[in-house]
Structure 1
Amino acid sequence: MTGTAAKKLPRAERREQLLETAQAIMGETGTDALTLGYLAERAGVSKPIAYEHFGTRAGLLIAICSAYDKRQMQAQREALAAGGETLEDVASIFASSYVSCVLDMGPAMGAAFAALSATEETADFRQSLRRGYVERYREGFSRFVELPPNDTAVLLGCLGAAEALAQDAAAGRVSRDEAVEALAGMFTATLKRYPAKAG
């Protein structure tokens, strides 16, 4: 740690190092031990550096989950650019990218997202993430079907299924492939109830 503390990193690299250290802490002990003071100690930096980057523990949790969300979006964009020619394709891409990202990030991410409900600030951020997922689903699926006026409720239901199946896969209750197949099937069955778009 001493070498890390002595080395001055550019701000972006230091932030990335702190986020990686925070994820390691969550993986080892869960979110309860994740404080800015402990993060600074584990990363080999002074407390003011951790506070300068995240401000509060809530700010740290938001940064961790925001990084996860960006990773999820990138995976979806790349997969959709490479395929996504049918409703079934898009359903499979959304299902696979969601489950894979949850599994790649490990079970600690579920705890991090759960911890976002603890304060008004983090709860608002969590809702903004959910709105983002709904918007991406709307954009992807509306290419193929006429979504109903209450499409937000429908798409939130799709997201709820994604959250539940991904967490079951992370906990080992179902395999990754089982979760992806079931989720893609749910997306497809839900959306095929609506009129197909011509062309």
Structure 2
Amino acid sequence: MKRLPLLPTVIVGAAIATMIGLGIWQLQRADWKEGLIARYEAASGLPPVAWPSVPPADDDLLYRRAEGFCTEVTGWRAVAGHNANAQTGWSHIAACRTGAEGPGMQVDMGWSRDAAAPDWTGGRVSGVIAPDSVHRIRLVSIEAAPGLVPSAAPDPGEMPNNHLSYAIQWFLFAGIAGVIYGLALRHRQKGLTAPPVPPATGR
């Protein structure tokens, strides 16, 4: 049996090992994400908390029920959102002062098809803490501001968990790479073992 070419075999073997390692890592990430979603789902049954004066460094408060008081609305922003009936439109988020030091409170005060800011100047708010791409967390109010309907309640079950499919892809890539390299080696071995073609002789 012919010896395997050293350098190509090392390169392909390292690539396959890396892809398998990435697949295993994605499986671990899938288990982690499932545990995280389960923890967030359990958080909805915990007692309400007061809105923190400073956003926490971790995500322990996500999907907890919370209460806060908006002493003054300093601005509005409208982001793409949907209501409880899965209708698409705009969720209206108020930037609030809370009477304490810190960044204040971001409150989703409801949904509408119109991006114009609602007529709401503040007050006590109860809702669920949700992720916010700008301010880390925001409070999704249970009761909507006048002229709005409540935005859809934050649902940890909507968090994407595609790690299992990513793991399968990496394992498939590793298998395909192994098959392709095996076929290339087979073709090479046939080329090395083929009998030489006799030279043509003249008359």
Normalising TM by the smaller chain, what interval? under 0.3
Instruction: Please report the TM-score for the alignment, with normalisation by the length of structure 1.
Output: 0.23
**Considering only CA atoms, is the larger Rg found in Structure 1 or Structure 2?**
2
Q: Which of the pair is proportionally richer in helix?
A: 1
Instruction: Please report the TM-score for the alignment, with normalisation by the length of structure 2.
Output: 0.23
